[in-house]
Amino acid sequence: MADDISVLVVDDSALMRNLISKMIEATDGLSVADTAMNGKFALQKLEKHDPDVIVLDLEMPEMNGIEFLRERKKRGIRIPVIILSSIAEKGAAVTMEALGLGASDFVQKPSGSISFDISTVKERVSELLLAYGGKYRRFNKKVSAPDISAGIRPVTADKTTAFRKPGGVSLSTFASDLGITVSPSAQKITPVRSTGKIEVIAIGISTGGPEALRVVFSNLDPDLKVPILVVQHMPPGFTHEFAISLNKICPLDVKEAEEGDEVIPGRILIAQGDKHLEVVRNGVNIVANLSKSPQVSGHRPSADVLFASVAVVYTNHALGVIMTGMGKDGAHQLGNIYREGGLTIGQDENSAIVYGMPRVAYELGHVMEQVSLENMGKRISAIAKTSRL
């Protein structure tokens, strides 16, 4: 249909092209623009069809996925790319290379390059195609696209809406270049203490995160002396290479969190896939604790788990950040950081690939400011340095 998000499927296997195409056509709001057997043919199909999003295999003859992404970048093509490849299972570094070259996100084929059970990843693939394809249509083609933020009603408050935070300090006026929106319902929470010096930053993020974190981390102040903890929903086996890839573009040290890692200034810890990340006190130190306890808010790692532990350990010395993602993980426990006297910010609707998690938090009154992705790194750095909004 004309209103559907159009998808270009690129895979060297005719069987896989057929299976993936059927999966896409079975999803409301998606349709297949065309298929291609490698990157070379994909470039030709782009000129003919101008799709909204691309599904890309990495292992292909003549021009593989990495080579296609390099050429895409060289030509300035902005159509988002979702990696769907078996190589992701045995080569996380290659997948991260693809993300570094501009791919938006990735999904593992469940069982090898010829995957007859591809339907097991239908929900995840469809979610990503709707999210990234929809965003591309809205901002590059000026065409409406379905809202997939889990059926949550849109925010209607405008950027000039004002409220007064505890202590009588007005938050009604913000610099326009920061892209900040004030939550009209944030006065519902009354912090139990005044905000202290910010000693930790906790970030919860999901769909759209790999791309967004690259933007945020590259814009952090090199002199930032506050530790950062991140929950990014990602499968096990990938977060180690993900941290390495982020470390290459971030002025601070980035690593995958390990049990007992000290939470120290200038270090960013990324939660391991399939393990919750919490902070605990160990004598005079604060360290990372990893666990395989049950999923929370449908996820492990869960942003809610991280935020809850940060609120307990750091009380009014924390900055909580909730960013792009489907669903509501992190939205509830972000409020505990606020109640303890910490500060909270969320990504705004225009810049979020999926305005789900930050929307729920905002409408609960748990987000004190909304900030664009472009300005998020600088805003985080400024708040951490001044300990105020």
Per the annotation, the verdict on 206 as an active-site residue is yes
Per the annotation, the verdict on 49 as an active-site residue is no
d(CA 132, CA 354): 8
- My answer on whether omega of the bond before 301 falls inside 30° of 0, hence cis, is yes
Per the annotation, the verdict on 366 as an active-site residue is no
Q: Report the DSSP beta bridge partners of residue 228.
A: 201, 268
Active-site position among 104, 149, 206, 302 = 206
Closest to 136 in 3D by CA, of 22, 50, 73: 50
Closest to 201 in 3D by CA, of 266, 260, 255: 266
Q: How buried is residue 62: exposed, middle or buried, by Cβ count under 10 Å (0-12/13-18/19+)?
A: exposed
8-state DSSP, 57: -
Active-site position among 4, 105, 126, 233 = 233
Question: Kindly report the CA angle at 235 between 231 and 240, in degrees rounded to 5?
Answer: 70
- Full DSSP string of 343-377: EEEEE-TTT-SSBSHHHHHHHTT--SEEE-HHHHH
Active-site position among 329, 348, 351, 366 = 329
Taking CA atoms, 371 is separated from 24, 168, 194, 247, in Å, by 33, 22, 22, 23
Q: How far apart are the first and last CA of the chain?
A: 46
> For residue 262, which phi and psi values (nearest 5 degrees)?
-75, 140
d(CA 127, CA 125): 5
Longest dimension (CA), the chain: 65
Taking CA atoms, 299 is separated from 209, 273, 277, in Å, by 15, 10, 12
Question: Kindly report the CA angle at 87 between 86 and 89, in degrees rounded to 5?
Answer: 75
> Which are the catalytic amino acids?
206, 233, 329
